[in-house]
Amino acid sequence: MSETKQTKVVSFLCNWCSYGAADLAGVSRMQYPENIRVIRIPCTGRMSPKFVLSAFREGADGVWVSG
Amino acid sequence: MESYIEQIRTLAVDLLKSGKVDVVIGYRRGSVPMATVPFMARTPEQAKQLTWDSHCTLNLANYLTNRQEKIGIIAKGCDSRNIVNHIVENKINRDQLHIIGVPCKGMVNPKELQTLLDDEIISCAETGSTLTIASSQAEIKIEREDHLRNNCSLCTHRNPVIYDDLVGEAVEEPVLDDPFKDVNAIEAMDADEKWNYFDDLLDGCIRCYACRNACPLCYCPTCFVDESDPQWVGKGQNDTDIKTFHFLRAFHCAGRCTDCGACEAACPMDIHVRAFTRKLIKDSKELFGWEAGMDISKRPPLDTFAPDDPNDFIK
Amino acid sequence: MMANLLEHMGMEKDRVQFSWISSAEATKFATVAREVAQSVEALGPNTKFVKGSD
């Protein structure tokens, strides 16, 4: 753990859309910030407000939902 | 009011006698003044106990969930909208119901009445639009219109939207200049002020879940607060857990809440829990042009997709 | 609507963000990821809805 707290963004990515895009970005060696923490969900339809709140509960600084 | 009671009883007795329904759900006088309790009349004799006054604050649609028998139910404006909700959400069949609609002029706020007298109110009588409340020391007469519950004074659907029999004449629907004044006031605050406002608001919450239990919309077999695996929200008095509970409870009512005020009437700590749902009602109206429980043939907006749904929050 | 209620309760608007990215849009993904990370960084650490913060 670093001394200064780094902001963490919990990202809920749809398996078929943004997760694919993230994968492609990785394969293409594109840079994106390291404070994006990815959680793969089967579909954005799986998203629930509970997830957002529990992310904050556990100390996330931001939540990003992407389909 | 007295004529309402007579008509309700006559209708209920007829329904039960003819065997059209197995039970009539209505109100009975409570054991303390200014209170009614929900009552299920199963025989014509029991139906004579049904009553109607300015204290029918609970929402009877709450007692319809997944019932199998034929039911007669007494419904004011908001109750009838919740019955529509139940039918749309397949919690009850329209054919099972015989709805006795009662045009409503608003229910009074007993907590407000109590503040008018120094000691405990021991009786409350009603003639026309006048209430006579008395404690052991004093007796005063008041106009019921001046002491309506907050949600009743903001109500624009006093007449039942769905009914088989209507008791009395339909009443005039009020037109409000600024129905969301309270919500706008909160919206005008900055983030920290809002946060503190809700902190103060929920200060007294004891997590009794009375608001959830009184709400006709809350019929999940296992509520998210009772789930333990995964446990979404802690069960203690932690501020974050309390807020999470209220946030999710309210959000589950998005696009469904009819502002019936049962949650607030049930709250033992007098928390203005409608502060959450009011915002959702306003958003439903502004974003989707939707008012809950108005039409039996329409699905709620968060349940359907329409090409013109607002999507400017998506990047 | 959920984001609206969170904001209503005092959560900063940019803490919860939504986007729509196809699996072919790697460039868009990287751009949006950077935007999201920056806007959250600008808000600083979150204190609301955190368990154990009070």
C14 at interface of A, judged by CB pairs closer than 8 A? yes
Distant-in-sequence, close-in-space partners of B294: CB < 8 Å, separation ≥ 6: B81, B84, B157, B161
The pLDDT, as a whole number, for residue C53 is 52
Show residues of chain B in contact with A57, CB under 8 Å.
240, 244
The arithmetic mean of pLDDT across residues A31-43, rounded, is 92
C21 at interface of A, judged by CB pairs closer than 8 A? yes
Q: What is the 3-state secondary structure (H, E, C) of chain B?
A: CHHHHHHHHHHHHHHHHHCCCCEEEEEEECCCCCCEEEEEECCHHHHCCEECCCCCCCCHHHHCCCCCCCEEEEECHHHHHHHHHHHHCCCCCHHHEEEEECCCCCCECHHHHHHHCCCCEEEEEEECCEEEEEECCCEEEEEHHHHECHHHHCCCCCCCCCCCEECCCCCCCCCCCCCCHHHHHHHCCCHHHHHHHHHHHCCCCCCCCHHHHHCCCCCCCCCCCCCCCCCCCCCCCCHHHHHHHHHHHHHHCCCCCCCCCHHHHHCCCCCCCHHHHHHHHHHHHHHHCCCCCCCCCCCCHHHCCCCCCCCCCEC
The pLDDT, as a whole number, for residue A5 is 67
The pLDDT, as a whole number, for residue B162 is 94
Where do the structural domains in chain C lie, given as residue ranges?
2-43
The pLDDT, as a whole number, for residue B236 is 87
Q: What would the DSSP string read from start to end of A5-34?
A: PPP-EEEEEETTTHHHHHHHHHHTT----T
- Give me the sheet containing B121-127, strands edge to edge: B121-127, B130-135, B139-143
What pairs with residue A14 in β-bridges? A41
Show residues of chain A in contact with C15, CB under 8 Å.
56, 61-63
The pLDDT, as a whole number, for residue A1 is 41
Show residues of chain C in contact with A2, CB under 8 Å.
none
Asked, for residue A42, whether it belongs to a domain, the answer is: yes
Asked, for residue A1, whether it belongs to a domain, the answer is: no
Rounded CA separation B108/B146 (Å): 9
- Phi and psi (nearest 5°) for A11? -115, 120
Contact B19, B44 (CB under 8 A): no
CB contact under 8 A, B240 and C50: yes
Asked, for residue A2, whether it belongs to a domain, the answer is: no
Domain count, chain A: 1
The arithmetic mean of pLDDT across residues A18-46, rounded, is 92
Asked, for residue A14, whether it belongs to a domain, the answer is: yes
* Partner residue opposite C5 with nearest CB, options B234, B250, B315: B250
Asked, for residue A3, whether it belongs to a domain, the answer is: no
Rounded CA separation B122/B130 (Å): 17
Asked, for residue A45, whether it belongs to a domain, the answer is: yes
CA distance C5 to chain A (A): 11
Where do the structural domains in chain B lie, given as residue ranges?
2-109+148-303, 110-147
pLDDT band at A3; cut points 50, 70, 90 = very low
Residue of C2, C7, C9 to mutate when probing chain B, most B C-beta within 10 A? C9
Query: Subunits that touch chain B (at least 3 Cβ pairs < 8 angstroms)?
Result: A, C
Contact B36, B27 (CB under 8 A): yes
Pick the more confident residue, C27 or B1.
C27
First to last CA, chain C: 27
Distance, C-alpha B226 to centroid of its chain: 23
The answer, yes or no, to whether residue C49 has pLDDT greater than 80, is: yes
Query: What does each of the 315 residues of chain B score in pLDDT, given as a tens digit?
Result: 778 999 999 999 999 999 999 999 999 999 998 999 999 999 999 999 999 999 999 999 999 999 999 999 999 999 999 999 999 999 999 999 999 999 999 999 998 999 999 889 999 998 888 999 999 989 999 999 999 999 999 999 999 999 999 998 889 998 888 899 999 999 999 888 999 999 999 999 999 999 999 999 999 999 999 988 888 888 889 899 999 999 999 999 999 999 999 999 999 999 999 999 999 999 999 989 999 999 999 998 888 888 888 888 888
Show residues of chain B in contact with C2, CB under 8 Å.
251, 254
| Residue range of the domain that includes A42 | 9-66
- Phi and psi (nearest 5°) for B303? -110, -10
> Nearest chain B Cα to C21, which residue?
B315
Q: Which two tokens stand for residue B214?
A: 């009184």
The answer, yes or no, to whether residue A2 has pLDDT greater than 50, is: no
